[in-house]
Amino acid sequence: MASSRGGWEGSEVTEYDLVRLRRARKIPPTVEVRVPGDELVPAPQPGECVVFTSHFARGFGLPASTFLRSFLDYYHLQLHHLGANAIMLLAAFATFCEGYLGVRPSIGLWVRFFHFRAQMVNSGETRPNPRVGDKEPARVPVKVMVECGAASIYPNTKSEYPNPKPLQSVKKWQRTFFYVKTADGEPDALNLPPFRLEPPEERTNWTSKVGHGDTDLDDMVKRTKELCQSGLEAADLIATFIARRVLPLQRRPHRICDMGGHRDSTRTSTARLDRGVVRDRVRAITDLKLDAKWWFGLHAYHRDARPPQVLLLSLHVSFASCRSGAQIGHCYLIFCLLPA
């Protein structure tokens, strides 16, 4: 693509950048990494995927979480189709689900809060205008999807979800790409789809209303409103995964609401961050205006303060006659536990 906006411009990643990601436990030892050369457009070798340091700074980690992989597969997307702001919004959503609702993130709930918009640029070509009028040109520009960041994420304005405000622009995020590959003989440590360069022009499932009419999702949406009324703020979603040193889009053994102390196995570091550092990091990846006195409006749940939930267990027991084998009755038992 000739346009510079949303196009590939090579990579500025260094070996030192990759060492820092290793030390931060954002890349496991079984993943091989490679710094790009002089190529402007990624040219991965067989088995390699393309990832971005800008994504790691916003809650992404390897191996990718089950939710992120399902998200990429369902919408036929690649990581380079999602810009830095989109990754931040997905990480915040995963934090909200795990830390405040106490559930695993799902595409069905995501659809209730967000939608896609395609990022387009002029291709430099024109086509005949089918709506030619007295004041309309005979030809109009042909627009095509950008190569990087084609699928922008926007909030549904009617939802109660406390959406973190993205930065107006994250310049040159596409210059932070490098290559990763699972070491030979090791289990998959990426959990990413095979790499393809083309933009998602087919827009697979972009307008799908998966989970429409699901009563469980309706209850989660209702609970979202209750949490906001209890003090939940947009900044809380970002500050939670920063303060707890966890990557919401990395595959982990348990949810954020199940995390324990500073030695929890899902943390990338045992070191605690002070309030000033947390606020600065929130401001670095969002457009939220936090003053020096800001702190959490509502803390996420954790191992010693679990989210309230109802467990309904339906046990179907069939009784049969030993002689005839005829089914003569059913018994349904429902157990309700409040809170968990």
Range of the domain at 24: 15-285
Instruction: Please say whether the beta carbons of 180 and 102 come within 8 A.
Output: no
Convert the pLDDT of each residue in 145-161 to its tens digit.
Answer: 999 999 999 999 899 99
At 216, list the tokens.
């469980």
**Residue 96 domain-assigned?**
yes
Determine the Cα–Cα distance for residues 176 and 17; give it in Å rounded to an integer: 10
Give the chain's domain count: 1
**Residue 161 domain-assigned?**
yes
pLDDT at 2: 37
**Of residues 133 and 46, more confidently modeled:** 46
**Residue 304 domain-assigned?**
no
**Residue 293 domain-assigned?**
no
pLDDT at 232: 98
CB atoms within 10 A of CB 210: 14
pLDDT at 315: 34
Q: Is the pLDDT of residue 1 over 60?
A: no
Partner residues linked to 209 by β-bridges: none
pLDDT at 332: 37
Convert the pLDDT of each residue in 101-127 to its tens digit.
Answer: 999 999 999 999 999 999 999 877 888
Q: Is the pLDDT of residue 326 over 80?
A: no
**Residue 321 domain-assigned?**
no
Mean pLDDT of 263-287: 95
The pLDDT-based confidence of 4 (bands split at 50, 70, 90) is low
**Residue 272 domain-assigned?**
yes
Q: Is the pLDDT of residue 39 over 60?
A: yes
**Residue 5 domain-assigned?**
no
Per-residue H/E/C for the chain: CCCCCCCCCCCCCCHHHHHHHHHCCCCCCCEEEECCCCCCCCCCCCCCEEEEHHHHCCCECCCECHHHHHHHHHHCCCHHHCCHHHHHHHHHHHHHHHHHHCCCCCHHHHHHHEEEEECEEEEEEEEECCCCCCCCCCEEEEEEECCCCCEEEEECCCCCCCCCCCCCCCCCHHHHEEEEEECCCCCCCCCCCCCCCCCCCCCCCCCCCCCCCCHHHHHHHHHHHHHHHCCCCHHHHHHHHHHCCCCCEECCCCCHHHCCCCCCCCCCCCCCCCHHHHHHHHHHHCCCCCCCCCCCCCCCCECCECCCCCCCCCEEEEEECCCCCCEEEEEEECCCCCCC
Q: Is the pLDDT of residue 72 over 50?
A: yes
pLDDT at 334: 36
**Residue 6 domain-assigned?**
no
pLDDT at 123: 77
Mean pLDDT of 52-66: 98
Determine the Cα–Cα distance for residues 269 and 155; give it in Å rounded to an integer: 32
At 252, list the tokens.
């982990």
